[in-house]
Amino acid sequence: MIETLHTGPPVRDQLMTIEEVVELLRMPVATLPTGACSTAGPRASSSDGAWHYWRDDVMTWLDAQRDSTGSGAA
């Protein structure tokens, strides 16, 4: 039998702060596009002046960046 210690939501379905996203992507916060109209970065939503991202949206955007470059790098 295989046991798992993970009891929370699936890893790709967690709400992330902008700080968590830039840490995951290893990029400066100023480089990450924000705003409801921004199409240059992962989808984001604002609540009380803070930007939040669904991890699945970040991973989907990252996959698309890799696919668009064809080099395996974002």
Mean pLDDT by 10-residue block, N- to C-terminus, for the chain (74 residues)? 56 84 88 65 84 90 81 52
Burial class from Cβ neighbours inside 10 Å (0-12, 13-18, 19+) for residue 52 reads middle
- The answer to whether position 5 is within a domain reads no
Total count of domains within the chain: 1
Does pTM top 0.75 for this prediction? no
Q: Which domain does 30 fall in, by range? A: 11-69
Give the ranges where 26-72 is alpha helix by DSSP (H). 55-69
**Axis crossing angle, helix 18-25 with helix 55-69, rounded to the nearest 10:** 30
- The answer to whether position 36 is within a domain reads yes
Instruction: Say what percent of the chain tops pLDDT 70.
Output: 66
Q: What local confidence, expressed as pLDDT, does residue 39 receive? A: 65
